[in-house]
Amino acid sequence: MLLIALLLVPFLAAAVLLVARPDGAARTIALLSSFITAALAILLWVRYPGNNVTLLDLAWMPSWGLRFTVGYDGTGLLFLLLTGLMFPFIIGAGRSEGADRPALVNALLLFTQSALFGVFMAQNAFLFYIFYELSLVPLFFLLLFWGSAVPGRLGSAKAVTMRFFIYTLLGGLALLFAIAYCVVQEPSHSADFNALHALRLPGDVQIWLFWALFLAFAVKLPIFPFHSWQPDTYTSAPLQGTMVLGGVLLKMGLFGILRFVLPIVPEGVEFWRSTVIWMALIGALYAGIIAFRQRDLKRLVAYSSLSHVGLLCAGLFAQNTYGISGSLYQAFAHAVLVVCMLYLVGAIQRRTGTTDLEAMGGLKHRAPRLAALFFLVMLNAVALPLTQSFVGEWLMFNGLWQRDGWMAFAAVTTIILGAIYMLYAYQRVMLGPENAKLPQAGDADQHDHLVLVPLIAVSLVLGVFPAPVLNLLDGSVQQMLSTFTALY
């Protein structure tokens, strides 16, 4: 029942907002709904018995393999928690004053949340796919209505939206094809993950099917060379939209790899492993170098996210305890980080009226508390020991080292690049002589503290004491790896 409540609470709240359009109370209603879901997610965690749980199994379209089967294991729970805990901050990040049609924005955000919960609790490949695609529809409108133009070719908000939509759907349709293929091959034509994981496809099929399955997630994450939609979309999207995209939505890619790619086509994974890891690492290095050259703060965050995500994917494909746990742990850390970073971008933009790094400088003198918050977030971003990111990156680094020394070397290089561009950005925004042309801006207010302080606290606490999350993952990761090693 808890899972159904997770699906329904945001959905109903969104429906209320959409129908009644209470612009004044929209943010309050959305926040209330997101607090309820966060509480439910935590309750789910408290009650977690430590193994794979299926809570509900209803026939929907059994003849084509679709059943409404929802449940979770340790990894699923992690992502459910992530979605539940991030959304109060994402919704809270919206300002009530001067908002354009707040009821609609919040309704779209809540619809996305509901679809995301669906993805993370689905125990049926087809059901997963349905929620996966549904999460795209509200974002399409969020981007279309509130997107801003990006300077350059193909830069109008409409063009960016269409590119994002088509790119993601390309991956989605490839996934649909792969699911259909697996369902036809499966003797009882079931699309349940359990049945599909037990499927043993011939080796040569696995080698091409790997790409049909992987493409969707490679685009969603995105991995080099499928990333070209990402920087423009992140830059064009409204702040909350980017938070959803970068903080939560892309985690569907990791989750999908975990649910589909690794267990269904193990031979394909074995075959393509080093190709994919190198693709991911090259993307991470490349994005890190580009991030350094960005003039626009939001675009810099987009590229830094791209760089981090490359590393996450590489860690997952290392496919050992360190790699997978590290990648999942870092997925959590990355969500916290992205939401913080983007919130700061918004806060800085509100004070200076720009996101252009060249036009800023010396903000620290006027807004010392904001500078301090930025500094703390930055420590997490550069993966300083005792922050959450350090734990994840250290584990992934270990995992990659077990595969290949050079991969680990590339991974460390991305971490160093990350430190360089983050520190450089901090320097250009906060330090140096005060830029006289900037408007007079106030320091961090109560709203800023309410959003940023809890997130920073989480990242520091889990950096010192990562055990709760790692324990949660341990059982599921071990179980997955044992089925995999049993094969070889």
Partner 1 sequence: MSALILTSVLGVLLLYLGLFGQKKLLVPVGVLGLLAAIGLFVMDRSINVPMFAHMVSFDRAGWLFSCGMLVVTVLIFLFGADYYARQEENVAEQYALMIFSLTGALLLTSYTNLLMLFLGIEILSIPLYIMAGGKRDSMRSSEASFKYFLLGSFASAFLLMGIALIYGVAASFDLGVVKEVALRQLVQPDILFTLGCFFVAIGLSFKVAAAPFHFWSPDVYEGSPTLITAFMSTVVKMAAFIGLYRFVGITQMPPTLGKALLVMTIFTLMIGNIVALRQSHFKRLMAYSSIAHSGFLLMAVLSQAPNTAQVLFYYTFTYSLATVGLFILMTLAKRAANGDEHIRIFRGLFRAKPWLGVVMLLLMLSLAGIPLTAGFVAKYQIFLLAIGADLIKTTVFAVLMALVGIYYYAVVIREAFTPSEEAPALVVSPVNLLLISVCGISVVLFGLLPGYLQ
How many Å apart are CA 259 and CA 72, to the nearest integer? 11
| Binds partner 1 by CB under 8 A, chosen from 162, 198, 207, 359 | 162
Task: Tell me the closest approach of the beta carbon of residue 165 to partner 1, in angstroms.
Answer: 6
| Site string (49-78) toward partner 1, x via CB under 8 A | ------------x-xx--------------
Q: In this complex, which beta carbon is closest to partner 1, that of residue 166 or of residue 423?
A: 166
Sign of CA dihedral 55, 60, 61, 66: negative
Task: Tell me the closest approach of the beta carbon of residue 256 to partner 1, in angstroms.
Answer: 15
Task: Tell me the closest approach of the beta carbon of residue 317 to partner 1, in angstroms.
Answer: 24
Is residue 141 within the footprint of partner 1 (CB under 8 A)? Answer: yes
Is residue 343 within the footprint of partner 1 (CB under 8 A)? Answer: no
Long-range Cβ contacts of 35-41 (<8 Å, 24+ apart): 35/88, 36/9, 37/6, 37/9, 37/10, 37/84, 37/87, 37/113, 37/117, 38/84, 38/85, 38/87, 38/88, 40/2, 40/5, 40/6, 40/9, 40/84, 41/6, 41/80, 41/81, 41/83, 41/84, 41/85
Which stretch, 139-147, 276-284, 356-364, 444-452, contacts partner 1 (CB under 8 A)? Answer: 139-147
Q: In this complex, which beta carbon is closest to partner 1, that of residue 35 or of residue 141?
A: 141
Residue carrying the six token digits 């006027």: 366
Is residue 174 within the footprint of partner 1 (CB under 8 A)? Answer: yes
Is residue 372 within the footprint of partner 1 (CB under 8 A)? Answer: no
* Residues 118 and 7 sit within 8 Å (Cβ to Cβ): yes
Is residue 165 within the footprint of partner 1 (CB under 8 A)? Answer: yes
| Binds partner 1 by CB under 8 A, chosen from 166, 384, 423, 431 | 166
Among positions 15-34, residues that touch partner 1 (CB under 8 A) are none
Is residue 184 within the footprint of partner 1 (CB under 8 A)? Answer: yes
Is residue 207 within the footprint of partner 1 (CB under 8 A)? Answer: no
Q: In this complex, which beta carbon is closest to partner 1, that of residue 129 or of residue 193?
A: 129
Among positions 289-328, residues that touch partner 1 (CB under 8 A) are none
Which stretch, 123-131, 238-246, 290-298, 464-472, contacts partner 1 (CB under 8 A)? Answer: 123-131
Q: In this complex, which beta carbon is closest to partner 1, that of residue 144 or of residue 438?
A: 144
Cis geometry, peptide bond prior to residue 263 (ω within 30 degrees of 0): no
Task: Tell me the closest approach of the beta carbon of residue 173 to partner 1, in angstroms.
Answer: 5
Is residue 4 within the footprint of partner 1 (CB under 8 A)? Answer: no
Q: In this complex, which beta carbon is closest to partner 1, that of residue 99 or of residue 412?
A: 99
Q: In this complex, which beta carbon is closest to partner 1, that of residue 101 or of residue 369?
A: 101
Task: Tell me the closest approach of the beta carbon of residue 158 to partner 1, in angstroms.
Answer: 6
| Binds partner 1 by CB under 8 A, chosen from 177, 278, 292, 424 | 177
Is residue 106 within the footprint of partner 1 (CB under 8 A)? Answer: no
Is residue 137 within the footprint of partner 1 (CB under 8 A)? Answer: yes
Q: In this complex, which beta carbon is closest to partner 1, that of residue 42 or of residue 184?
A: 184
Q: In this complex, which beta carbon is closest to partner 1, that of residue 130 or of residue 462?
A: 130
3-state SS, the chain, equals: CHHHHHHHHHHHHHHHHHHHCCCCCHHHHHHHHHHHHHHHHHHHHHCCCCCCEEEEEEEEEHHHCEEEEEEECHHHHHHHHHHHHHHHHHHHCCCCCCCCCHHHHHHHHHHHHHHHHHHHHECEHHHHHHHHHHCHHHHHHHHHHHCCCCCCCCCCHHHHHHHHHHHHHHHHHHHHHHHHHHHHHCCCCCCEHHHHHCCCCCHHHHHHHHHHHHHHHHHHCCCCCCCCCHHHHHHHCCHHHHHHHHHHHCHHHHHHHHHHHHHHCHHHHHHHHHHHHHHHHHHHHHHHHHHHCCCEHHHHHHHHHHHHHHHHHHHHHHCCHHHHHHHHHHHHHHHHHHHHHHHHHHHHHHHHCCCEHHHCCCHHHHCHHHHHHHHHHHHHHCCCCCCHHHHHHHHHHHHHHHHCHHHHHHHHHHHHHHHHHHHHHHHHHHCCCCCCCCCCCCCCCHHHHHHHHHHHHHHHHHHHCCHHHHHHHHHHHHHHHHHHHHHC
Q: In this complex, which beta carbon is closest to partner 1, that of residue 143 or of residue 291?
A: 143
Is residue 99 within the footprint of partner 1 (CB under 8 A)? Answer: no
| Binds partner 1 by CB under 8 A, chosen from 134, 199, 420, 460 | 134
Task: Tell me the closest approach of the beta carbon of residue 3 to partner 1, in angstroms.
Answer: 18
Q: In this complex, which beta carbon is closest to partner 1, that of residue 173 or of residue 372?
A: 173
Is residue 144 within the footprint of partner 1 (CB under 8 A)? Answer: yes
How many Å apart are CA 44 and CA 274, to the nearest integer? 37
Is residue 140 within the footprint of partner 1 (CB under 8 A)? Answer: yes
Q: In this complex, which beta carbon is closest to partner 1, that of residue 129 or of residue 322?
A: 129
Is residue 170 within the footprint of partner 1 (CB under 8 A)? Answer: yes
Q: In this complex, which beta carbon is closest to partner 1, that of residue 169 or of residue 289?
A: 169
Query: By the criterion CB under 8 A, which residues form the site for partner 1?
Result: 61, 63-64, 126, 129-130, 133-134, 137, 140-141, 144-145, 158, 161-162, 165-166, 169-170, 173-174, 176-177, 180-181, 183-184
